[in-house]
């Protein structure tokens, strides 16, 4: 029996403030993998993990214990807390999913294996420099079209795979309010395509069905400060997406969007969402031109170096919008410090042989197995 793809190289990160019963439906696909569950909200609440899953579970007390003062960069009472799982994972790949997402069926009625498709997306190159009109040329049954430069057909490594959603689409509150009954169904809105987002183009990254290569872009996968005590919500994944796309463009890494679909079951309350989002809706009109104009120095050759540079520019150029960005720039630095503590490059290759460049932090002690 063949091993599930990347079984020992991929962690599944789930933020939850509700319940993990949804895992029952995913059991055939997720059970072979290690789960990192980030329990948000009241740490004294008991969250039941269905039998048979291999997991570590962290609540707010654990995050505070493990990170100490650096825990200030991890959001509380917001799905942005999921990035703590990205930080303490030891695996090369991450898949993150919300607890109201289920297995979707493709138009033929077949269950969609989101992990298999994300892994396929991540393990095949991206083509950010020249658009292929038959979309992802590395998929079965398709290829580069006539006129596609052969010098560009090797593509670049793929850093991030952004999946989509049937049933409840990820709309902002105003759109949700004017289209409360709109549903994506496999008959009318299933688009059978994976495409590379071209270099120089930003995109609205949603965190509910997302996979990425931690070794390539982990340090840039910080879900920004939201939730308790913050002036904005539901922009954690958006801010992160703009940062990581700028970093990928600079490092010539690829970002893909499209398949796989999952079934998003619950529409969150549009009035609550409007309150969370409203500042983000007008801030983004200034943020997008900022991110479109970001230039990173040539000597930024890693996601970590790019991110530190980005944090400086966020503070310098966005704080005029709102003091929040001053705090955000600092939180981005704290995130990198925490990342370095838990993900030290243990060995640097030098002409004199391997040298330990930085001692790793203690292993975080998860709450349960
Ligand atoms: O305080 C909280 C609220 C929620 N969670 C967990 O986060 C995910 C998403 O929650 P939910 O499904 O209620 O929110 P949506 O509006 O559908 O999510 C979209 O908006 C983004 C919010 O930034 C999110 O990434 C998108 O998917 C669930 O697992 C909740 O249990 C939480 O941990 N803390
Ligand atoms: Mn949801």
On the question of pLDDT at 368 being above 90, the answer is: no
Q: Is 15 in the pocket of ligand 1 (CB under 6 A)?
A: yes
The two structure tokens encoding residue 285: 């009109």
> Residues near 271 by Cβ (< 8 Å), separated by ≥ 6?
173, 177
Global pTM reads 0.94
Give the per-residue pLDDT at 365.
58
pLDDT of residue 361: 42
- 163 in ligand 1 pocket by Cβ < 6 Å? no
- Collect all residues with Cβ–Cβ distance below 8 Å to 313 and sequence separation of at least 6: 290, 294
pLDDT single digits (tens) 260-283: 999 999 888 999 999 999 999 999
For residue 76, the CA-to-ligand 1 centroid distance in Å is: 12
pLDDT of 222 reads 98
Give the pLDDT band of residue 355 (cuts 50, 70, 90). Answer: low
Q: Pick the residue with more confidence: 62 or 362?
A: 62
Take atom 17 of ligand 1 and give the residue whose Cα is closest: 268
What are the tens digits of pLDDT across the range 207-253? 999 999 999 999 999 999 999 999 999 999 999 999 999 999 999 99
Long-range contacts of 331-335 (CB under 8 A, 24+ apart): 331/72, 331/73, 331/222, 331/224, 331/225, 332/73, 332/222, 332/224, 332/307, 332/308, 333/308, 334/70, 334/72, 334/73, 335/73, 335/83, 335/87, 335/219, 335/222, 335/307
For residue 100 and ligand 1, the question of a CB distance below 6 A is answered with yes
Atom of ligand 1 nearest to the CA of 99: 29
Distances (CA, A) of 146 to 32, 150, 205, 300: 41, 10, 31, 35
Report the pLDDT value the prediction gives residue 367, as an integer from 0 to 100.
Answer: 53
Mean pLDDT of the 340-362 span: 65
Radius of gyration in angstroms for the set of CA atoms belonging to the chain, rounded to a whole number? 20
Around ion ligand 2, residues with a beta carbon closer than 5 Å are 98, 100, 266
Which three-class secondary structure string do you get for the chain? CCCCCCCCCEEEEEEECCCCCCHHHHHHHHCCCEEEEEECCCCCCCCCCCCCCEEEEECHHHHHHHHHHHHHHCCECCHHHHHHHHHHCCCCEEEEECCCEECCECCCCCECCHHHHHHHHHHCCECCCCCCCCCCCCCCCCCCCCCCCHHHCCCECEEEEEEEEEECCCCCHHHHHHCCCCCECCCCCCCCCEEECCCCCCCCCCCCEEEEEHHHHHHHCCCCCCECCCCCCCCHHHHHHHHHHHHHHHHCCEEEEEEEEEEECCCCCHHHHHHHHHHHHHHHHHHHHHHHHCCCCCCCCCHHHHHHHHHHHHHHHHCCCCCHHHHHHHHHHHHHHHHHHHCCCCCEEECCEEECCCCCCCCCCCCCC
Interacting residues of 64 by C-beta distance below 8 A, sequence separation 6+ = 71
pLDDT at 366: 58
Answer whether residue 344 shows pLDDT above 90. no
Decide: 82 and 15 in contact? Cβ < 8 Å. yes
State residue 188's pLDDT score.
Answer: 82
Looking at the chain, the whole-number percentage of residues with pLDDT higher than 90 is 90
Residue 359 is predicted with a pLDDT of: 41
pLDDT given for residue 353 in this prediction: 67
Over residues 185-201, the pLDDT tens digits come to 877 889 999 999 999 99
Residue having the nearest C-alpha atom to atom 25 of ligand 1: 207
**pLDDT of 321 higher than 90:** yes
Q: Is residue 18 in contact with ligand 1, taking CB distance under 6 Å?
A: yes
Residue bearing the CA closest to ligand 1, atom 22: 234
Query: How far away, in angstroms, is 37 Cα from ligand 1 center?
Result: 14
Q: Provide the mean pLDDT of the chain.
A: 94
Over range 151-174, report the average pLDDT: 97
- Mean of pLDDT values over 343-353: 69
For the residues 79-104, what does the mean pLDDT come to? 98
| Mean pLDDT (whole number) for 115-142 | 97
Question: Per-residue confidence at 360, pLDDT binned at 50, 70, 90?
Answer: very low
Residues in the chain: 369
pLDDT band at 358 (very low <50, low <70, confident <90, very high): very low
């Amino acid at each position: 029996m063949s091993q599930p793809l990347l079984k020992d190289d991929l962690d599944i990160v789930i933020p939850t403030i509700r319940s993990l019963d949804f895992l029952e439906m995913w059991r055939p696909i997720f059970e072979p993998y290690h789960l990192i569950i980030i329990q948000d909200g009241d740490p004294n609440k008991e969250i039941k993990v269905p039998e048979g899953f291999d997991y570590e579970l962290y609540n707010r007390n654990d995050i505070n214990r493990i990170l100490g003062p650096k825990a200030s960069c991890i959001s509380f009472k917001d799905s942005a807390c999921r990035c703590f799982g990205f930080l303490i994972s030891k695996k090369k790949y991450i898949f993150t999913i919300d607890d109201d997402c289920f297995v979707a069926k493709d138009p033929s009625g077949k269950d969609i294996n989101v992990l298999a498709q994300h892994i396929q997306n991540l393990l095949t190159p991206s083509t950010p420099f020249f658009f292929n009109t038959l979309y992802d040329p590395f998929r079965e049954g398709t290829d580069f079209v006539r006129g596609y430069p052969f010098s560009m057909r090797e593509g670049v490594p793929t850093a991030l795979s952004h999946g989509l959603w049937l049933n409840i689409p990820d709309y902002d509150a105003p759109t949700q309010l004017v289209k409360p009954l709109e549903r994506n169904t496999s008959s009318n809105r299933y688009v059978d395509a994976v495409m590379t987002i071209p270099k120089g183009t930003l995109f609205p990254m949603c965190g509910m069905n997302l996979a990425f290569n931690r070794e390539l872009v982990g340090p840039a996968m910080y879900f920004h400060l939201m939730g308790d005590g913050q002036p904005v919500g539901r922009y954690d994944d958006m801010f992160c997406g703009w940062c990581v796309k700028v970093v990928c463009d600079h490092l010539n890494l690829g970002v893909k969007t499209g398949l796989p679909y999952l079934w998003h079951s619950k529409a969150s309350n549009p009035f609550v969402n409007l309150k969370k989002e409203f500042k983000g809706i007008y801030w983004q009109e200034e943020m997008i031109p900022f991110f479109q104009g970001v230039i990173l120095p040539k000597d930024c050759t890693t996601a970590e170096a790019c991110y530190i540079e980005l944090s400086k520019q966020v503070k310098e150029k966005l704080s005029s919008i709102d003091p929040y960005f001053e705090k955000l720039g600092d939180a981005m630095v704290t995130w990198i410090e925490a990342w370095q503590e838990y993900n030290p490059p243990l060995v640097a290759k030098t002409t004199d042989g391997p040298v330990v460049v930085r001692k790793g932090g203690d292993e975080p002690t998860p709450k349960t197995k």
